[in-house]
Amino acid sequence: MSKTFPSINMKATGKNIESLRKQKNLSVKEIQEVFGFESPQAIYKWQWGDSLPSIDNLVVLATVFEVSIMNILVID
């Protein structure tokens, strides 16, 4: 009997991050400044579903977007 485990849908999570950012009327540049990143590439990679924010960055995003981490992640 094989078990199936949930996984994070990176593309859907990325679209979720973009949607939540837009709902808060925040630009990618503003999110970049929150994190102190030198370039916006990490934010774009999150939004495109190419990578996921680290756990500590998810906590910051949840605070900025005023949602729980589970409202950011899309679990399959």
Residue-range domains of the chain with CATH: 10-71 (1.10.260.40)
What does the pLDDT read at residue 2? 81
CA distances from 65 to 13, 46, 61 (A): 14, 15, 6
DSSP state of 21: H
What does the pLDDT read at residue 1? 66
* pTM of the complete model: 0.92
pLDDT in tens, 14-68: 999 999 999 999 999 999 999 999 999 999 999 999 999 999 999 999 999 999 9
